Amino acid sequence: MLKKIISLFAVMSILTAALPVGAEPAVNAKAALLMDFGSGTVLWEQNADEPLPPASVTKVMTLLLIMEAIDRGEIGYDTVVTASERAKSMGGSTIFLDTNEQMTVDDLIKGIAVASGNDACVAMAEHLAGSVEAFVERMNQRAAELGMVNTHFVNCNGLDAEGHYSSARDIAIMSRELMKHNDIFRYTTIWMDSLRDGKFQLANTNKLIRFYDGATGLKTGSTDGALCCVSATAKRDDLHLIAVVLGSPDSKNRFASARELLDYGFANYRNVRLGEKDKVVTSVPVKKGVKSEVNLISADDAYALLSADKAGAVETKTELNGDVRAPVKKGAQLGEALAVLDGQVIARCRLVAADDVKRKSVFSYFKSLMEYFMTP
């Protein structure tokens, strides 16, 4: 019989039918989409799959590949990159790199995320892949891996080019992937900073960072072909939202539309945090093990995304897969957490063993028996 333990715990996904639709946000753009970061649930959309020029929002993918290269140990934040003549030749938004100028990865990320430096993108692309063309191939490959079916990149910075396009949904997907790298917010939340020992001043192109409560990023863009675009992210309590706006007529409407989307999300939804990846949820006894019990941890960050009026109505519990017997392998699933709303299970999350537990040897049994009889 399954043992049930009431516990503060929940899930990475939800039953979207439980989410109501509130007053529609007023968006002045060709396409837009609002997504919950935690679950990936789309909360509102408009022409979300239409391929459109994304301008410098393209740089979300460039930044993602940089962060993934850092995670793999291919580069570090202190790695020095040498700018090429091609990097120097970039037009549009730049940080005015000179040929053979050297700058750290840390400063180049800052130049991309804060000042939208097209030259910084080229310098990083050439450093990581040997050429911009090879880097763009990696961008398209990663887009395919993420399921971005309405995206094709031609360059790494978003300058208008034939065949360079993405969609609001795809931009939300790659934005969410970038946001999994928490270090990126050290850059995207900068309002004012500098490069070259204070000689070159930076001001964030994303005005929401200063003027919107909880703003965390992520990237703006504007060209003649794309008009004004943004992937705007903001967090309040445990709700982290992604608002994508493409093809807005001007910057004022771009940010107003992003505000509308974010306001709609924060007004209508709550993310209830009920568990944390790798944090202990409970412990269970282990039969015939060298340890008498093993801790169970959440396999994922655990949230329940709910409508605002349902946030306090979720019942959370865990169920074990029967008795636990040694040997137990670390990471083995020993149960699951359930989130229950109005008597229905709306989502599940795995509970896994935090450690290995070896089976007791014959000698261990004999030793325990001797200790039992010798204890006064």
Encode pLDDT of 5-56 as tens digits: 333 333 333 333 344 456 889 999 999 999 999 989 999 999 999 999 999 9
pLDDT band at 368 (very low <50, low <70, confident <90, very high): low
Count Cβ atoms below 10 Å from residue 210 Cβ, excluding itself: 11
pLDDT of residue 15: 32
Residues 354 and 297 sit within 8 Å (Cβ to Cβ): yes
Mark whether 298 is an active-site residue. Answer: no
What are φ and ψ of residue 325, in 5° steps? -120, 140
d(CA 286, CA 284): 7
Which of 84, 93, 116, 231 is flagged as catalytic? 116
> Rounded to two decimals, what is the model's pTM?
0.85
Sequence spans of domains, the chain: 4-13+274-362, 29-248
Which of 13, 30, 39, 59 is flagged as catalytic? 59
Which of 13, 39, 56, 298 is flagged as catalytic? 56
d(CA 228, CA 215): 19
Q: Which helix (H) or strand (E) holds 237?
A: none
Mark whether 199 is an active-site residue. Answer: no
Assigned fold of 29-248: Beta-lactamase (3.40.710)
pLDDT for residue 121 is more than 60: yes
d(CA 296, CA 328): 11
Percent of the chain with pLDDT over 90: 73
pLDDT band at 372 (very low <50, low <70, confident <90, very high): low
Percent of the chain with pLDDT over 70: 89
pLDDT of residue 364: 60
Two structure tokens written together for 59: 């740089």
State the average pLDDT for the chain: 90
pLDDT of residue 18: 41
Instruction: List alpha helices for 114-250, DSSP H.
Output: 118-129, 132-145, 168-179, 185-188, 208-211
pLDDT for residue 189 is more than 80: yes
DSSP secondary structure letter of residue 263 = H
SS3 294: strand
298-323 core/surface letters (b: 16 or more CB in 10 A; e: else):
bbbbbbbbbbeebeeebebebebeee
Count Cβ atoms below 10 Å from residue 149 Cβ, excluding itself: 13
Tell me whether strands 239-248 and 227-236 are parallel, antiparallel or unpaired: antiparallel
Q: Which CATH number fits domain 4-13+274-362: 3.40.640.10, 2.60.410.10, 1.10.3720.10, 3.40.50.20?
A: 2.60.410.10
Mark whether 116 is an active-site residue. Answer: yes
Tell me whether strands 4-6 and 315-320 are parallel, antiparallel or unpaired: antiparallel
